[in-house]
Amino acid sequence: MVTCRSLTVGMREGEWTRAVVDVPVSDLGDGEVLVEVGFSCVNFKDGLAGSATGRVARIDPLIPGVDLAGVVVESSSPAVRVGDAVIVHGYDVGVAHHGGYSTLARVSADWVVPMPAGLDARTAMLVGTAGFTAALSVAALEAAGLQPGDGDVLVTGATGGVGSMAVGMLARRGHRVVASSGKADAADWLHGLGAAEVIDRSETSAESPKPLERERWAGAVDCVGGATLAYALRTMRYGGSVAASGLTGGSGLATTVMPFILRGVNLLGIDSVQTPIDRRRAVWQRIATDLRPSWLDDTSVMGAEVVGLEGVPAEMDRILAGGMRGRVLVDPRR
């Protein structure tokens, strides 16, 4: 019996368990393509999948890991060849279908993104779902009219995965980035990623009875939600847009219609999970080229930690506690 090494999560004998075990390859689920995983990474959703109360896992046991990059070792699809370097993320991966925290992953050929020239498994997973979401956000803001030189673009949750990647991508596009963070010691790091200015999270998460405040932002990438998204809307400049992707600060939204009907503000919803595959492949091409953060290959800037499968549970807990700075990579062979 051929097996692979995987982190599995789920209820075992009445207890929530996270354990590295040998899994038969025949148990990896359906799919035409078998990938030898080079790297995965840790996202907020992975933290939820690894938590008894996270409510995102839809099979039990589950091999989490919503992102993976590696090399195809078996394929029954004419569209994907053995030896191809690929990226796979989103759809059911890591929630309803076994994911990237494994030495091997079996996936649908329809989920496969060919590795763009200029990226490899490591840099692709440094970007991962977080960076893909940041790329969708920047693309949506620019499609709605934002141009370099228009003014300050706010990034909230800036030290997290989506936030740090958005800082790098916006800076690469020539925007002036203002990064909001709750981590007082992260200012130098955020400047290194490309932020022109760093402001404290207490300002961007403050609640206010006022429906509108001073017009400040030309655009915003918000992965925090809650009071922070309400702040971004009421301080957006006339005609500006907010790309909203997350809820680390809460899923509620207490706002009024005033930003929309008096300032023509746009609220742009961002979803990385069900992005159609052709668009997904096109956005990855942009990540490798015009959206590529200038520091992506420079480990002295992002300095992503690399953990093995045994190290993943602690990282799942850390990301849920809001303690992440940048990205953590997972090397399943470590």
CB-closest chain residue to ligand NAP: 160
Using CB under 6 A, which of 168, 246, 293, 332 touches ligand NAP?
Answer: 246
CA atoms within 13 A on the CB side of 142: 17
Specify burial of residue 191 (Cβ count, 10 A radius: 0-12, 13-18, 19+).
middle
Q: Provide the residue type at 40 as one letter.
A: S
Backbone angles phi, psi at 161, to 5 degrees: -65, -55
The residue (of 129 and 241) whose beta carbon lies closer to ligand NAP is: 129
Handedness of CA 126, 129, 133, 135 (dihedral sign): positive
Give the residue with the Cβ less far from ligand NAP, 108 or 129: 129
First to last CA, the chain: 23
Instruction: Report the distance separating Cα 5 and Cα 24, nearest Å.
Output: 9
**Cα 241 off chain centre by:** 20
Task: Give 34 or 320: the residue with its C-beta nearer to ligand NAP.
Answer: 320
To the nearest whole angstrom, how small is the minimum distance from the Cβ of residue 138 to ligand NAP?
A: 14
According to the binding rule CB under 6 A, does residue 160 interact with ligand NAP? yes
The footprint of ligand NAP on this chain (CB under 6 A) covers a number of residues equal to 33
> Which residue type sits at 169?
M
Binding-site string for ligand NAP from residue 112 to residue 141, where x marks contact by CB under 6 A and - marks none: -----------------xx--x--------
Asked if 24 and 60 touch (Cβ cutoff 8 Å), the reply is: no
CA 255/CA 197 separation, integer angstroms: 26
Using CB under 6 A as the binding rule, whether residue 51 contacts ligand NAP is answered as no
159 binds ligand NAP (CB under 6 A): yes
User: 3-class SS at 140?
Assistant: helix
Pick from 40, 248, 255, 266 the residue near ligand NAP by CB under 6 A. 248
Map residues 183-222 to x or -, x wherever contact with ligand NAP holds by CB under 6 A.
x-----------------x---x-----------------
Selected range binding ligand NAP among 10-18, 117-125, 209-217, 317-325, rule: CB under 6 A: 317-325
User: Which residue number, 185 or 278, has a Cβ lying nearer to ligand NAP?
Assistant: 185
With b meaning 16 or more CB within 10 Å and e meaning fewer, what string describes 92-119? bbbbebbbbbbbbbbbbbebbbebbeeb
Distance CA 62, CA 157 (A): 28
Stretch that binds ligand NAP, among 22-30, 77-85, 153-161, 296-304 (CB under 6 A): 153-161
| Alpha-carbon span 69 to 74, nearest angstrom | 15
Q: Binding segment for ligand NAP among 101-109, 161-169, 256-264, 283-291 (CB under 6 A)? A: 161-169
Site string for ligand NAP, 256-285 (x = CB under 6 A): --------------xxxx------------
Binding site for ligand NAP (CB under 6 A): 43-45, 129-130, 133, 157-163, 181-183, 201, 205, 223-224, 228, 245-249, 270-273, 319, 322, 324
